[in-house]
Amino acid sequence: MTDQETQNPENPSSEDPLEAITAEAPDETAEAGSEAEPHDGTGVDAAPDEPETSDVAEPEAELVALEANGAATVALPLGADGISPELHSDPYGEEELDISSADFEALLSEHAIAMGDFREGEIVKAKVLRVTDTMVILEFGFKSEGAVALDEFKDHDGIEPGEEVEVLLESLEDDDGIVVLSKKKADFLRVWEKIREAHDADEPVDGMLTRKIKGGVTVDIMGVDAFLPGSQIALRRVPNIEDLLGQTFEFKIIKLNKRRRNIVVSRRVILEGEREKKRETLVKELLVGQVREGVVKNITDFGAFIDLGGLDGLLHITDMSWGRVSHPSELVSIGDRIKVKVLNYDRERERISLGLKQLTPHPWENIDKKFPQNTQIQGKVVSITDYGAFVELEEGVEGLVHISEMSWTQHIRHPSKLVSIGDMVDVMVLRLDQESQKISLGMKQTDPDPWETLDNNYPSGMRLEGKVKSLTNFGAFVEIEEGIDGLVHISDMSWTRRIREASEMFKKGDTIPVVVTDIDKKRRRISLSHKAAFDNPWPKLSEMYAVGTEVHGAVSRVLERGVVVSLDSDVDGFVPLSQLGIESIQTPSQSFDIGQELPLKVIELDEDQKKIVLSVLEYLKDKDQAEVDEYLSIHPVKPVSIDEVVADQDEEMESWAGEDSAESVDDDSVDDDAVDDSADDDSADDDSVDDSADEVSDSDGEAVGEKQ
């Protein structure tokens, strides 16, 4: 410690005497002093421990400590005017300063007045000089200029030259010698205290949503930007944030950071508080049966949740309308304000059931007066099932049109063939059950019943042509006029052939001649005959195929106990098993195949039953042994299993054997009496066939055996 420091205990060694000068002088002077050349060490003892002496006798003299390149501290005496000798003369002796101490003081004073009391970190007023595309050029103090980014100003278009604004003086001079100013920081500092006080007191502040950013929205609070997270905008997710921009709301400040100038606000906290207050009030006031207004908060497949103001209630889809509702979105949308009725309120679980349709009268009240029996009305098809279609007469009132009540004439397999959902149809009320809320409707009743006059239009025996509409195993349905079909049974298809399936005679779409044989208006059935459209050939066939006539025929079908052969004139004949001329066969399939030609003799002809019975045995009876041997060689006996014998069983055998052919067909499948029973008598008794065959065998078997 020097002597000077010892004599001045009030000035501790830790205080830099240079600060007393630089505190009053502008920064430019201080920098000028710092750039001066280092002292050459004149007047400074080489020994650092030796105290430095001074010629200055005044007690107010101060020491100026200079430190250059790590050299030891040197105490220099001040002049009588209080100014360091360095400022009067060049320390290196190169140039003598021609300014007096008084003039120097005047210059310092003038500069200080021009600069004012500007300090870094203070808010100053500046004047707008000009505005560029990105910057605002400002002037402050002694012709000092600075620039502020244009986006720091809220109103870009409202900035005019000459306007005075407040900015923060961040630095009098940066590395490039430019004054650094900030408008945004100045605004922030001005309102920071108010914002902090609002945060500490948990008080709301007003703010306007300005722009959408990542994760949320920027909010202008007192001119300062704050961040509003997306989750804090409302009680639920906002689908379109852009719709809220420009609107002003109340916010709670939930986070502050002055150093980072970070302010986080929440609107949801405000809304939750308001919601809780409303909830407390609603819990006390809510009663079953009340009608209240609410806002649609959410929509699901099973209903909509309604915000009643603090509590949510469920409006189930079944309580939305008396009519059919496919989805709740058909009636309500999110954000809609609607009135609903409180149906149930569970206070413990805070569950509320609401109803919308209950605000209107029940549509089934006085339904018998609105829709009395036999009333004809127009309705809308709203649903289709396998058994009919439901038609809406008015909202909440539906009736069923059974499939049997859709058309007088058409055979409808499914209601969708005639109607579609959304169709408007004319219906008639057939029956009404108000207690069970059921209405039976009819569509065909709105048109005249064509069956009432059908027998007049188509008397029995009338010949006409019709189109084959469909084929079944028991016959063919033929359309005689649009919507009117008649049945041609397989027994009425041919005079001469035994038809097993309708497809053997016709195909769908064929136009065929038919004769009306019967009309049952009560059961709505028409019986037709195809063979009756032609002359009966059996009188002529009786002459052509008299008993004893020798003919040839090709096997067309192999049955269980005989074969069917096709003769000339497109007529079928039957050869019983016992008349095939081959012993020890259990079934014809052991020796005969379809298409083989057989030599035959007529042993029976029944014109009434339209049947010809033939025999190979009788034919071979008068022939030589060579022809018999040739026949036997053509039809050798093959072994057969029991399963094959069973497989040869055929329903057609019953007709040839004398069983009633029509009984082999199920009554339900033939539509009861729609089939003419004329086929019932078309067969001969099986025993008579066997007996006749046995008689032939007994009388002539010995001769045949001899030839064999």
* 526-559 tens-digit pLDDT: 999 998 888 888 888 888 889 988 999 999 888 8
Could you tell me if 344 and 376 lie in one domain?
no
Of the candidates 271, 283, 298, 280, the one whose C-alpha atom is nearest the C-alpha of residue 352 is 283
| Predicted local distance difference test score (pLDDT) of residue 389 | 94
Neighbouring C-beta atoms of residue 446, cutoff 10 Å: 14
Q: Is residue 38 part of a domain?
A: yes
Q: What's this model's pTM, rounded to 2 decimal places?
A: 0.40
Q: Is residue 261 part of a domain?
A: no
Strand, helix or coil for residue 244 = helix
Q: Is residue 205 part of a domain?
A: no
Could you tell me if 518 and 578 lie in one domain?
no
Under the banding of pLDDT at 50, 70 and 90, the label for residue 8 is very low
CA of residue 604 relative to chain centroid, distance = 76
pLDDT digits (tens, 9 = 90+) for 318-371: 888 887 888 999 889 988 899 999 999 888 787 889 999 888 888 888 888 888
**Does pLDDT of 600 surpass 60?**
yes
Sign of torsion over alpha carbons 37, 43, 46, 47: negative
Q: How many residues does the chain have?
A: 708
Of the candidates 317, 318, 340, 313, the one whose C-alpha atom is nearest the C-alpha of residue 329 is 317
In whole angstroms, give the CA distance from residue 22 to residue 270.
53
CA angle 313, 318, 319 (to 5 degrees): 50
| Predicted local distance difference test score (pLDDT) of residue 86 | 53
| Predicted local distance difference test score (pLDDT) of residue 72 | 41
| Predicted local distance difference test score (pLDDT) of residue 24 | 36
Could you tell me if 469 and 561 lie in one domain?
no
Q: Which residue has the higher pLDDT, 452 or 303?
A: 303
Q: Is residue 242 part of a domain?
A: no
Q: Which residue has the higher pLDDT, 505 or 49?
A: 505
Task: Using the structure block, give the residue that is written with the tokens 């009320």.
Answer: 429
| Predicted local distance difference test score (pLDDT) of residue 49 | 40
Q: Which residue has the higher pLDDT, 574 or 695?
A: 574
**Mean of pLDDT values over 565-576:** 88
**Mean pLDDT, the chain, as a whole number?**
75
Distances (CA, A) of 69 to 37, 39, 408, 553, 596: 11, 11, 121, 142, 136
pLDDT digits (tens, 9 = 90+) for 436-450: 888 999 999 898 888
| Predicted local distance difference test score (pLDDT) of residue 305 | 92
Q: Which residue has the higher pLDDT, 307 or 95?
A: 307
In whole angstroms, give the CA distance from residue 59 to residue 621.
177
Q: Which residues lie below 8 Å from residue 345, measured CB to CB, with a gap of 6+?
A: 286, 287, 288, 351, 352, 353
| Predicted local distance difference test score (pLDDT) of residue 48 | 38
E strands in 534-580: 550-558, 562-567, 571-576
**Does pLDDT of 80 surpass 80?**
no
Could you tell me if 35 and 181 lie in one domain?
no
Could you tell me if 373 and 353 lie in one domain?
no
- Count CA atoms within 13 Å of residue 331 on its CB side: 24
**482, 500, 533 - which closes a domain:** 533
> Number of folded domains in the chain?
6
Of the candidates 702, 272, 672, the one whose C-alpha atom is nearest the C-alpha of residue 475 is 672
Of the candidates 181, 193, 178, the one whose C-alpha atom is nearest the C-alpha of residue 152 is 181
**486, 508, 533 - which closes a domain:** 533
Could you tell me the two tokens for 468?
């084959």
Distances (CA, A) of 633 to 330, 551, 621: 85, 20, 17
| Predicted local distance difference test score (pLDDT) of residue 25 | 35
| Predicted local distance difference test score (pLDDT) of residue 28 | 37
Q: Is residue 508 part of a domain?
A: yes
| Predicted local distance difference test score (pLDDT) of residue 158 | 76
**Mean of pLDDT values over 127-153:** 81
Q: Which residue has the higher pLDDT, 598 or 34?
A: 598
Under the banding of pLDDT at 50, 70 and 90, the label for residue 645 is low
**359, 390, 424 - which closes a domain:** 359
**Does pLDDT of 694 surpass 60?**
no
Could you tell me if 162 and 304 lie in one domain?
no
Could you tell me if 547 and 692 lie in one domain?
yes
In whole angstroms, give the CA distance from residue 390 to residue 385.
8
Could you tell me if 390 and 499 lie in one domain?
no
CB 612 within 8 A of CB 567: yes
CB 210 within 8 A of CB 241: no
Q: Which residue has the higher pLDDT, 11 or 279?
A: 279
Could you tell me if 518 and 562 lie in one domain?
no
**Mean of pLDDT values over 455-482:** 89
| Predicted local distance difference test score (pLDDT) of residue 707 | 35
Of the candidates 561, 554, 596, 595, the one whose C-alpha atom is nearest the C-alpha of residue 579 is 561
| Predicted local distance difference test score (pLDDT) of residue 497 | 83
Q: Which string of DSSP letters, residue by residue, matches 245-271?
A: TT-EEEEEEEEEETTTTEEEEESHHHH
**Mean of pLDDT values over 148-170:** 81
Range of the domain at 151: 123-185
Q: Is residue 544 part of a domain?
A: yes
Under the banding of pLDDT at 50, 70 and 90, the label for residue 243 is confident
Could you tell me if 101 and 82 lie in one domain?
yes
Q: Which residues lie below 8 Å from residue 603, measured CB to CB, with a gap of 6+?
A: 547, 579, 613, 614, 615, 618, 692, 693, 696
Under the banding of pLDDT at 50, 70 and 90, the label for residue 692 is very low
pLDDT digits (tens, 9 = 90+) for 385-433: 999 999 999 888 889 999 999 988 777 889 999 999 999 999 999 998 8
Strand, helix or coil for residue 29 = helix
Q: Which residues is 384 bridged to in the sheet?
A: 389
How large a percentage of the chain has pLDDT more than 90? 21
Q: Is residue 233 part of a domain?
A: no
| Predicted local distance difference test score (pLDDT) of residue 369 | 85
Under the banding of pLDDT at 50, 70 and 90, the label for residue 42 is very low
Q: Which residues lie below 8 Å from residue 20, measured CB to CB, with a gap of 6+?
A: 62
Of the candidates 611, 327, 600, the one whose C-alpha atom is nearest the C-alpha of residue 497 is 611
Q: Is residue 229 part of a domain?
A: no
Could you tell me if 472 and 555 lie in one domain?
no
**Mean of pLDDT values over 128-134:** 86
Of the candidates 414, 441, 437, 416, the one whose C-alpha atom is nearest the C-alpha of residue 427 is 441
Task: Using the structure block, give the residue that is written with the tokens 């009519």.
Answer: 323
Task: Say which range, 50-54, 121-125, 415-419, 450-454, has the weakest mean pLDDT.
Answer: 50-54
CA angle 470, 475, 480 (to 5 degrees): 55
In whole angstroms, give the CA distance from residue 674 to residue 662.
12
Could you tell me the two tokens for 660?
């009633």
| Predicted local distance difference test score (pLDDT) of residue 415 | 93
Task: Say which range, 72-86, 90-104, 299-313, 583-597, has the weakest mean pLDDT.
Answer: 72-86
Q: Which residues lie below 8 Å from residue 197, measured CB to CB, with a gap of 6+?
A: 203
Q: Which residue has the higher pLDDT, 366 or 18?
A: 366
| Predicted local distance difference test score (pLDDT) of residue 455 | 81
Could you tell me if 513 and 587 lie in one domain?
no
Amino acid letter, 596: Q
CA of residue 635 relative to chain centroid, distance = 72
Q: Checking DSSP bridges between strand 525-529 and strand 484-489, what pairing results, if any?
A: parallel
**Does pLDDT of 641 surpass 80?**
no
